[in-house]
Amino acid sequence: MAETTTICVARGDGIGPEIMDATLQILEAGGARIDIEEIEAGREVYERGVSSGIGEGAWETLRDNRVLLKAPITTPQGGGYKSLNVTIRKTLSLYANVRPCRAYSPYVPSKHPGMDVTVIRENEEDLYSGIEYRQSGEMTQALKFISRPGTERLCRYAFEYAQAQGRKKVTCMTKDNILKATDGLFHEVFEEVAADYPDIKSDHLIIDIGTARVATSPTEFDVLVAPNLYGDVLSDVTAELTGSVGLCGSANVGDEFAMFEAIHGSAPDIAGRGIANPSGLIHGAIMMLTHIGQGDVASRINNAWLKTLEDGVHTPDIYNESHSQPAPASTDEFTDAVVERMGEEPVDFDPVEHPIQDPPTYSEASYRIPPAREEKKELVGVDVFLEWRDGTPSDLAEVLNGLDSGALELSAITNRGMKVWPDPMPETFVSDHWQCRFEADQALEVADVLSLLKEVDLVGLDLIKTEHLYNFDGERGYTRGQGE
């Protein structure tokens, strides 16, 4: 008899428990060879005062089993709570978020009948670092991280996915015309990885026009790859274009763990009413089955689900007069309809055949500290951030130029990234948050920076943070201010 895989299940909250019950019934009817260990995550855990939102012992259970099927979880507003979804993705290093979005026209009306787009979203970095500060009376700030290895493994995953799924093109989307260092690195690494896959077309679009084109002509796209925040927005656009955000599943994949879910949230507006569409989580479960080597079961469930759609059994979110049965189906009725059709194949849609692949093997967890890169890193300056409201940029420059700053010289002052000194333009709007750039034409020691900071403090300026400026092999590792 084929081997059974133990999976972790989290029922979530909002519509989570309803759609999880439906999905587990369908998995059982489909003959999934799984045992289940439940973990607690979501509202009840938050309400017990556990701010991470995940139950005691859950990480160990996850480590034992490596696969999680998770229903949506509400992130409590305020109270400093972090999103548990993001915590799970980052703790387990689930670096690729795969979101296939396909139209099921005419049974689910979509303006783009032929669309079949998969968004592969980076899942750990970018603004989802969640590191934010209030630094002055007026200014808040968030940190965006893009790393070379993080981007490389994501892009490689996207091309490997494209190859395995017989896809033809991978399109990268960034905003590297503005974010030269961070999105610029993402784009550069994408091009490097693309060169290893000459049989797959690749291109790059700026995210704003790219999203607009996806929204108007999704059939021109195949696989999309993007940094975390853009990918999050893009995949909601593509999911909604299919006809309902309730249809699409999502896989969060890392080297050692994988988590499968619906792409939508906990839908508190319809929770408890028995009308939620369980299809997103069913699709997450289908991806999970393929991942654990049960492509046969994945195909059986997928085909029963397609036949259910064709037969017009539709929950209210996809209900339409031309192709639905007279009354919309409840979650339970939809579930029963899929179970009844197990073993059947769709007539209009092409039957689906998921690959039967070997289940993944896992290694012992250990931190992998990256080796040093062979390049010369030189400290060449410092950005000193001040809260200040005692005059014009030229007044501030006068104070700073009066400091004993050693080899460091004031080269520019910017405010919200816009150069305001030298050559100030009084039309430029300024806040109370000033970035004062000191540079040297020689390599510096950290001690040079520290003695400058001491001077800044001595004259009573309100020093709020600093950022070191480095050159790497003589190339500047920091951007110029706008207008500098």
**Residues at the interface with ligand NAD (CB under 6 A):** 15, 72-75, 85, 245-246, 261, 264-270, 276-277, 280, 317
3-class DSSP state of 68? strand
Q: How many CB atoms lie within 10 A of CB 469?
A: 21
Long-range contacts of 164-169 (CB under 8 A, 24+ apart): 164/355, 165/118, 167/118, 167/200, 167/222, 167/223, 168/200, 168/201, 168/222, 169/200, 169/201, 169/202, 169/203, 169/221, 169/222, 169/223
Residue with nearest beta carbon to ligand NAD: 265
Exposure of 409 in the CB half-sphere (CA atoms within 13 A): 5
83 exposed, middle or buried (CB, 10 Å; 0-12, 13-18, 19+)? middle
3-class DSSP state of 17? helix
Nearest to 99, CA basis, from 233, 263, 229: 263
Shortest Cβ 145–ligand NAD spacing (Å):
21
**Cα dist. 365→60, 92, 122, 125 in Å?**
12, 10, 21, 20
Q: Nearest 5°: phi and psi at 59? A: -60, -40
What is the amino acid identity at position 380?
Answer: V
CA angle 272, 277, 282 (to 5 degrees): 115
Shortest Cβ 212–ligand NAD spacing (Å):
22
Shortest Cβ 23–ligand NAD spacing (Å):
11
Shortest Cβ 253–ligand NAD spacing (Å):
15
Q: Which is nearer to ligand NAD, 246 or 381 (CB)?
A: 246
Shortest Cβ 278–ligand NAD spacing (Å):
7
Q: Which is nearer to ligand NAD, 280 or 393 (CB)?
A: 280
Q: Which is nearer to ligand NAD, 330 or 479 (CB)?
A: 330
As a whole number of angstroms, the longest Cα–Cα distance in the chain is 82
Q: Which is nearer to ligand NAD, 10 or 205 (CB)?
A: 10
Q: Which is nearer to ligand NAD, 194 or 275 (CB)?
A: 275
Q: For residues 288 and 57, give the distance between their C-alpha atoms in angstroms, rounded to a whole number.
A: 23
Whether the CB-CB separation of 107 and 309 falls below 8 Å is answered with: yes
Nearest to 417, CA basis, from 362, 347, 478, 335: 478
Q: Which is nearer to ligand NAD, 269 or 350 (CB)?
A: 269
Place of tokens 């393929």: 290
Shortest Cβ 19–ligand NAD spacing (Å):
6
Q: Which is nearer to ligand NAD, 174 or 277 (CB)?
A: 277
Q: Which is nearer to ligand NAD, 171 or 238 (CB)?
A: 238
CA angle 334, 340, 346 (to 5 degrees): 85
Q: Which is nearer to ligand NAD, 194 or 245 (CB)?
A: 245
Whether the CB-CB separation of 20 and 281 falls below 8 Å is answered with: yes
Q: Which is nearer to ligand NAD, 180 or 273 (CB)?
A: 273
Q: Which is nearer to ligand NAD, 30 or 280 (CB)?
A: 280
Q: For residues 70 and 24, give the distance between their C-alpha atoms in angstroms, rounded to a whole number.
A: 11
Q: For residues 160 and 167, give the distance between their C-alpha atoms in angstroms, rounded to a whole number.
A: 10
Q: Which is nearer to ligand NAD, 270 or 380 (CB)?
A: 270
Q: For residues 100 and 238, give the distance between their C-alpha atoms in angstroms, rounded to a whole number.
A: 9
User: Helix, strand, coil shares of the chain as percentages rounded to 5?
Assistant: 35, 20, 45
